[in-house]
Amino acid sequence: MCLTRCKFMFFFLCFLQEAFYRIDHDYPMKCVEIAKECGVKHMSLLTSIGAKANSWFLYMKTKGQIEEDCKKLNFDHLSIFRPGLLQRGQDARFAEKVFGIFSKAILVSDVAKGMRTDAEEVAKKLKSGEAGNDEKEKMHFNADIWSMIKNEA
């Protein structure tokens, strides 16, 4: 009986892991590949602080792998946004509320504004031909995002 439960639990956890990977890596990656095929020059990607393709933690590993896979597609410009803890207001999960006590969270709307601001700046540079002088890949962390939206105001 115990062995049967263990097998079921193992199967269930493997299923959850596969489903998570498919949702957080495979589906977004398919969209990124389609964008590349359609000639998109600048890709913005939202991952997470601590993203690392060889991490032991599934979440960080998945986010790191999608970053690496996007880099391989060789966009003219790739902006990777790595916010820390997201502040989602009433939609916050219990763990997010607890960790929010210890670290300064960034509003989801601020991340969206930062991504928009970055996309507009990169588009201007690509259009004017200035983008060749810039970094091909750029990482944006909380401080960078806050700086972008502060300068926008």
How many Å apart are CA 5 and CA 2, to the nearest integer? Answer: 5
Domain positions in the chain are 2-152
| The model's pTM | 0.85
> Percent of the chain having pLDDT more than 70?
79
* pLDDT higher than threshold 60 for residue 18: yes
Contacts of 131 (CB under 8 A, 6+ apart): 76, 77, 122, 125
Distance CA 124, CA 81 (A): 19
CATH label, 2-152, candidates 3.40.50.720, 3.10.150.10, 3.40.50.1480, 3.30.420.40: 3.40.50.720
Candidates 45, 46, 42; CA nearest to 123 is 42
What string of DSSP letters covers 68-104? HHHHHT--SEEEEE--SSEE-GGG--HHHHHHHHHS-
For residue 128, what pLDDT band results from cuts at 50, 70 and 90? confident
